[in-house]
Chains A and B, each alone.
Chain A
Amino acid sequence: MSDPEARKVVELGYGGSERLTMNMGPQHPSAHGVFRAILILEGETVAGVDAVIGYLHRCHEKLGESLTYTQYPSIASKTDYVAAMTSELAYVRAAELVGKVEVPKRAQYLRVMVAELQRVASHCLWLGTWCLDMGGALGGGATVFLYCIRERESVLDLFEALVGARLLYGFHQVGGTRYDIPAGWAEKCRQTVAAIDKRIDEYEDMLEGNAFFLARTQGVGVISRELAQEVGISGPLIRGSGVAYDVRRAEPYSSYEDFDFKVPVETAGDCYARYRVRMQEFRESIKIVRQALDGLPEGPISSRPGVKSVGQVRVAKGEGYARVEGARGEVGCYLVADGGAKPYRMKWRGASFSNLSVLHHIIPGHKVADVVAIMGSVDPVFGEVDR
């Protein structure tokens, strides 16, 4: 638990009890964004951690009240900007849920396909930055980082051919999607996915069984099953601790029940278990993409006509909560609609925000070097945390 004396960050730090207060500040190469962790150290061991967030707050929920249903989806991608497709999907599904809008089958398959491709891209970034944190900007970590970025670039090239943008898409709209796949894209997608499959074998070769990697990740940051269920984490964190909870299975949305995929679960609860869960998720996502490409039905991509004016979409009075399985966990959007073109209230459930709450349970007791390994395996994106 955090030391009440540590609230004041003393210049030279020795607060009289051999404890050093060190700031892993918002500007830090491995803070995964803007995150301030005030660490209270006894020698090399962390005795307490005080997390300060809010450096990236951009008033998304207020923007949700002032922008209409046609305008907000492209802003929604900026919450979890690393996995933008799933963020937009949460908002759009919430609007469709409250407004009782049907989504055509083709659009649902397209949504699944881009969501899984996005998961592959997001996990590539996760693996790269995690190894970068653990291995150093000048060292083996940078090597794995550049390999993963190389793979991620091929997925982003696919998105660029589909949507026109590489990182923040505006792909979804209320009622379906905005873009259909161009000619030749399906073939390119298959090739890309096959290439990534092979490259993941290479990364596993490099990291599995590597004594250095195992020494850094096994037994580090153990989240016990009880803690996982109490604290409210989701995604690979909870699946790494033995709880088989995946929103795609618990509450299937967007035709996920048509697809055949496993939900990887590991029981150890340490960083290595979470790593294994995400590596298996790579393979499962690639499987889903292939199935979606094979089974893509014909039809329209939206049940509403294309957006022609800003107030075109109106959602009747009501409220509802829609959630999706993002790359980091359960991303949810609670929408209260009042019949107009703008929501009355919109609340984001950020996956990373809830995931960060586990940090102050698991970090104390570890060494400073483990803090970065744990932060990396929790994989927060601060757009989701601070919104």
Chain B
Amino acid sequence: MAPETRPRGFAREIADLVGAVGRAMKVTFINFVRKPVTVHYPDVQRAYPDRFRGVLALVYDKETGEEACIGCRLCEYICPPQVIKVEMLKAEKRNFAKTFTLELYACEFCELCVQVCPTDAIVMMKSFDVATADRRELLFDKDRLHAVGLQFPQSWATGNLLRDMQSPPKAAKAEAAPGKAAGGPE
């Protein structure tokens, strides 16, 4: 603010200041009359997208109704924080999982276990709401995992669907290619 231009400079500055103050207060006023964006959770649930990565669960086979998990332990090996522990139970036609524990309090929700499962046994649900006051309740055993699988709606992603989405199309998948190229399911 050079002294020789002070009269005009000063008035100009004051005018700028008033303009800036007015603009800032106008923006806050506009937001004052806008509708708030608050969602009144938990009275109102937010609509979760199809691919929401929520709580993990084990599911049953759609046709036979048996447990889909064959105890192959691929999910245990790929889990980055190593929260899954599986013991296989051998039987005549197919294998089962004797015990399946998942430490949900340490889970990263990265969906890698879902991705590798060959039988689409482990999936993620469209909910994360298993809050509890005791961490031990978040150490899911097989029964709890199956119960969770029946309790919440399931997300879109299963192992086979994810792998199909990622793999380059081969000749055998040519008939499915138009659907895939258009960009995945709804």
Contacts and interface: CB of A to CB of B under 8 A. Distances in A.
Q: Are A and B in contact, CB atoms below 8 Å, in the complex? A: yes
Interface of A: 67, 70-72, 74-75, 104, 140, 143, 147, 150, 153, 157, 160-165, 168, 170, 173, 176-185, 202-203, 205-207, 209-211, 298-310
Contacts of A209: 16, 19-20, 23
Interface stretch (B49-57, B98-106, B145-153): B49-57
Contact of B167 (A71, A147, A170, A300): A300
Contact of B112 (A163, A170, A300): A170
B20 A210 contact: yes
Contact of B24 (A75, A140, A304, A309): A140
B9 interface: no
A143 B28 contact: yes
A162 to B, nearest CB: 7
Contact of A307 (B28, B79, B115): B115
Given A74-B108, A181-B183, A302-B167, A308 B23 contact: no
Interface in B1-60: 13, 16-17, 19-21, 23-24, 26-28, 30-31, 37, 49-53
| Interface of chain A, main secondary structure | loop
Contact of A165 (B21, B53, B79): B53
9 contacts: A179-B51, A182-B51, A301-B165, A302-B166, A305-B168, A306-B115, A307-B115, A307-B166, A308-B163
Centre residue among A140, A162, A182 by max chain B CB count within 10 A: A182
Interface size bucket, B side?
35 or more
A153 to B, nearest CB: 8
A184 B186 contact: yes
Contacts of B162: 178, 306
Contact of A302 (B19, B77, B168): B168
In the A-B complex, the 7 residue pairs with the smallest Cβ-Cβ separation, listed nearest first, are A306-B163, A164-B53, A306-B166, A74-B110, A300-B168, A164-B51, A310-B78
A308 B52 contact: no
Contacts of A160: 49, 51-52
B149 to A, nearest CB: 17
A180 B165 contact: yes
Contacts of B169: 300
Contacts of B53: 163-165
Nearest to A201: B27
A150 B115 contact: no
Nearest to A300: B168
A70 B17 CA distance: 56
Q: Which of A157, A165, A203, A299 has the most CB of B within 10 A?
A: A165
B184 A182 contact: yes
Given A70-B112, A178-B162, A206 B24 contact: yes
A308 B112 contact: no
A153 B37 CA distance: 10
B182 interface: yes
A177 B115 CA distance: 13
Contacts of B181: 298-299
Interface string B171-186: 0000000001111111
Contacts of A147: 31
Contacts of B108: 74-75, 168
Contacts of B30: 202
A307 B79 CA distance: 12
A157 B182 CA distance: 22
Given A165-B53, A300-B166, A309-B77, 17 more contacts: A70-B112, A157-B49, A164-B53, A170-B111, A179-B51, A180-B184, A182-B50, A182-B186, A183-B186, A184-B186, A210-B21, A211-B20, A304-B166, A307-B112, A308-B116, A309-B116, A310-B78
B109 A183 contact: no
Nearest to B126: A164
A164 B186 contact: no
B155 A164 contact: yes
Interface string B53-89: 1000000000000000000001001111000000000
Contact of B49 (A104, A161, A304): A161
Given A140-B24, A181-B183, A309-B77, A164 B52 contact: yes
B164 interface: yes
B51 A162 contact: yes
